[in-house]
Amino acid sequence: MSKYHARKVTAGGLTFDSQAEHRRWRELVLLEQAGEISHLAVHPAYPLIVNGVKVGVYQADFVYTDANGRRVTEDVKGVKTPVYRLKRKLMWACHQIAIVEVAA
């Protein structure tokens, strides 16, 4: 259990940081099977490079293409830590990607 009381869950060969993240993955798998979304990826990593210097990596919970063809980067959030808030800003600055936050 983490300091935020999240329990890791392993399913389908994947490890999720919380039960909420696992639950959301199951929902997204069903949406993909129904044809509502496509190209579902779990835990993709994005390098955060500023002025040619790698300052970190942001690992999203999920990325998929919605029914309108837009790429969605999603994070299941219970607690928005200062590090997460910084990485969210860096994702926009480095990649012009706005993270969709799903409540845990």
Distance (Å, whole) CA 18 – CA 39 = 22
Find the mean pLDDT for residues 24-32: 96
Mean pLDDT of the chain: 92
Distance (Å, whole) CA 16 – CA 42 = 9
**What pTM was computed for the model?**
0.86
Q: Is the pLDDT of residue 11 over 60?
A: yes
pLDDT digits (tens, 9 = 90+) for 55-100: 999 999 999 999 999 999 999 998 899 999 999 999 999 999 999 9
Domains of the chain: 9-103 (3.40.1350)
Find the mean pLDDT for residues 12-27: 89
Find the mean pLDDT for residues 1-20: 77
Query: Residues 94, 51: contact at Cβ < 8 Å?
Result: no
